């Protein structure tokens, strides 16, 4: 998808959010969320919305949903206008389709409420309902506990957005395809990457890299190559059959910055099979415009327009709350990374890969809802490891027959300044993959 630029005249925000100068106009006629609420359009942006009572969208208020259209990426974020007291975190609910098309692949659903209690509650108040779409699309939500009624919205304020295939970089070779793209997120937002190798040759190796800021530029023509020089290798895997291989990554951005996505795919010197087809996709989205600009009303989603090739956005699920204390009002960051297209299942074991940011220590629990007990984990800053879950004996055989399961991740990260951040829980819906 080609980047496009929006016009207008106002202001908004990333890791620390600022309000829009267009918000007052946008709130002149604000709708209330209904039992059946949908938002659709061809551009990424938001409509103002009122939530009349506290909601628990991962519990009794959990909606059923439907996706239509959207191109390579489609989803919604229901995000509070105001951040939490003494914090830059906004309570929000996310529902994001991660597969290349509707009905194909995982769906991410999560709540960040800053309580650290696992209550996953969105307070009543003024909200924005974001549509995140790469093409004409719609997301429909049906909340089982709200009064009967229907509401259909379209984005009234457009926000910076870019999505499309990741370019092949000039330092690729006959045996290795190197791909990646860098871009800016100008406020709090999302970065997404999806890489799939269709019908790979046995021995083909896929690696995904993470770069932040200008580290990819310092790496030059070695960026995204084998070992991710100057950056972090977030995933690597070698095809042992001709079954598809690949990963997705989702980054919840807490502070403005330069992020990218990318990696490399190599073939063995002697390939016994035809090399597989590489499919790449990246998306950068900001919740607000940079200060001094706007895209209210009709228009195109703004592009951040970073140079091709550059930092590779890693597989990061941020812990969400960027909190500050009464004595320290600087924005802080802490993130946890989950990178997987599927939950890997081997006998009675299920495997979930986790990685903690270099900026924080992470601890918490992970489980497959209804299939495994909780497993606790503690990760040092920058540590990466697989968490192994033991499937209940009576259900082990049936798990590999399930098309979707819920992986519940309850995470706490602790920053060097002692501030704790909480995102509880994160639910990842994914198809299990036998191994």
Q: Is the residue at 111 inside a domain?
A: yes
Determine if the peptide bond prior to 211 is cis (ω within 30°). Answer: no
**Residue 205: strand pairing partners:** 238, 266
Q: Considering only 89-98, 171-180, 206-215, 320-329, which range has the smallest mean pLDDT?
A: 320-329
Q: Is the residue at 330 inside a domain?
A: no
Confidence of residue 287 (pLDDT cuts 50, 70, 90): very high
Q: Considering only 190-199, 234-243, 413-422, which range has the smallest mean pLDDT?
A: 413-422
Q: Is the residue at 344 inside a domain?
A: yes
Q: Is the residue at 188 inside a domain?
A: no
pLDDT over 60 at 292, yes or no: yes
Q: Which residue has the higher pLDDT, 78 or 235?
A: 78
Which residues of 144-243 form beta strands (DSSP E)? 150-153, 157-158, 161-164, 176-185, 189-198, 205-210, 232-238
Highest-confidence segment of 57-66, 134-143, 196-205: 134-143
Q: Which CATH number is 402's domain given?
A: 2.60.40
Q: In this predicted structure, what is the pLDDT of residue 342? A: 53
First to last CA, the chain: 35
Highest-confidence segment of 277-286, 306-315, 330-339, 418-427: 277-286
Q: In this predicted structure, what is the pLDDT of residue 7? A: 30
Q: Which residue has the higher pLDDT, 238 or 431?
A: 238
Q: Which residue has the higher pLDDT, 189 or 370?
A: 189
Q: In this predicted structure, what is the pLDDT of residue 248? A: 79
Confidence of residue 320 (pLDDT cuts 50, 70, 90): very low
Q: Is the residue at 291 inside a domain?
A: no
- Over pLDDT 70: what percentage of the chain? 69
Among 134, 161, 188, residue at a domain's last position: 161
Among 133, 161, 189, residue at a domain's last position: 161
Query: Which residues, in sequence order, are CB contacts of 277 under 8 Å at separation 6+?
Result: 197, 198, 199
Q: How far apart are CA 108 and CA 340, in angstroms?
A: 11
Q: In this predicted structure, what is the pLDDT of residue 424? A: 47
User: What's the pTM value of the predicted model, to 2 decimals?
Assistant: 0.74
DSSP letters along 17-39, please? ----TTHHHHTTTPEEP-SEEEE
Angle at 378 between CA 118 and CA 205, to 5 degrees: 110
Q: Which CATH number is 112's domain given?
A: 2.60.120
Q: In this predicted structure, what is the pLDDT of residue 429? A: 53
Q: Is the residue at 130 inside a domain?
A: yes
Q: In this predicted structure, what is the pLDDT of residue 384? A: 74
Instruction: Provide the mean pLDDT of the chain.
Output: 74
Q: In this predicted structure, what is the pLDDT of residue 343? A: 59
Q: In this predicted structure, what is the pLDDT of residue 319? A: 27
Q: Is the residue at 374 inside a domain?
A: yes
Strand pairing category for 161-164 and 107-112: unpaired
**Structural domain that includes position 431:** 339-435
Among 161, 178, 206, residue at a domain's last position: 161
Confidence of residue 283 (pLDDT cuts 50, 70, 90): very high
pLDDT, tens only, 147-174: 899 999 999 999 999 999 999 999 999 9
Distances (CA, A) of 202 to 271, 272, 432: 7, 7, 22
Residue position matching structure tokens 């307070």: 123
Q: In this predicted structure, what is the pLDDT of residue 417? A: 45
Q: Considering only 181-185, 243-247, 313-317, which range has the smallest mean pLDDT?
A: 313-317
CB 150, CB 50: distance < 8 Å: no
Q: What is the number of alpha carbons within 13 Å of residue 90 lying toward its C-beta?
A: 30
- Six token digits for residue 13: 């925000």
Q: Is the residue at 193 inside a domain?
A: no
Domains in the chain: how many in total?
2
């Amino acid at each position: 998808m080609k980047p496009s630029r929006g016009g207008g005249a106002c202001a908004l925000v990333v890791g620390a959010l600022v309000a829009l100068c267009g918000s007052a106009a946008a709130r002149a006629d604000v709708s209330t969320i209904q039992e059946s609420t949908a938002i659709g359009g061809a551009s990424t942006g938001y409509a103002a919305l009122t939530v009349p009572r506290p909601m628990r969208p991962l519990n009794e208020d959990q909606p059923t949903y439907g996706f239509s259209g959207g191109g390579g990426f489609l989803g919604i974020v229901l995000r509070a206008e105001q951040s939490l007291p003494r914090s830059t975190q906004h309570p929000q609910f996310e529902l994001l389709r991660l597969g290349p098309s509707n009905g194909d692949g995982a769906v991410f659903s999560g709540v960040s409420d800053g309580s650290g209690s696992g209550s996953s509650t969105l307070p009543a108040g003024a909200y924005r309902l974001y549509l995140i779409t790469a093409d004409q699309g719609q997301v429909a939500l049906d909340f089982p506990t709200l009064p009967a009624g229907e509401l259909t919205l379209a984005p009234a304020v457009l926000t910076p957005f870019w999505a499309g295939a990741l370019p092949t970089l000039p330092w690729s070779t006959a045996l290795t395809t190197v791909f990646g793209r860098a871009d800016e997120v100008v406020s709090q937002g999302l970065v997404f990457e999806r890489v799939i190798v269709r019908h790979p040759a046995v021995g083909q190796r896929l690696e995904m890299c993470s770069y932040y800021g200008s580290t990819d530029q310092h790496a030059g023509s070695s960026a995204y190559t084998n070992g991710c020089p100057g950056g972090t290798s977030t995933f690597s895997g070698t095809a042992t059959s001709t079954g598809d291989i690949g990963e997705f990554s989702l980054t919840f951005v807490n502070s403005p910055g330069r992020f990218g996505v990318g990696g490399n795919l190599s073939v063995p010197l002697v390939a016994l099979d035809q090399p597989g087809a590489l499919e790449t996709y990246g998306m950068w989205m900001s919740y607000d415009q940079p200060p001094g600009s706007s895209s209210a009303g009709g228009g195109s989603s703004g592009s951040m327009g970073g140079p091709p090739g550059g930092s590779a956005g890693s597989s990061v699920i941020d812990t969400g709350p960027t909190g500050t204390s009464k004595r320290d009002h600087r924005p802080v960051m802490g993130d946890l990374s989950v990178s997987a297209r599927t939950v890997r299942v081997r006998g009675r074991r299920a495997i979930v890969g986790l990685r903690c940011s270099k900026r924080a220590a992470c601890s918490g629990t992970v489980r497959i809802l209804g299939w495994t007990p909780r497993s606790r984990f503690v990760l040092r800053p920058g540590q990466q490891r697989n968490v192994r879950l033991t499937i209940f004996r009576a259900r082990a055989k049936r798990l590999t027959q399930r098309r979707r399961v819920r992986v519940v991740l309850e995470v706490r990260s602790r920053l060097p300044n002692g501030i704790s951040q909480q995102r509880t829980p994160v639910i990842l819906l994914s198809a299990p993959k036998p191994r």
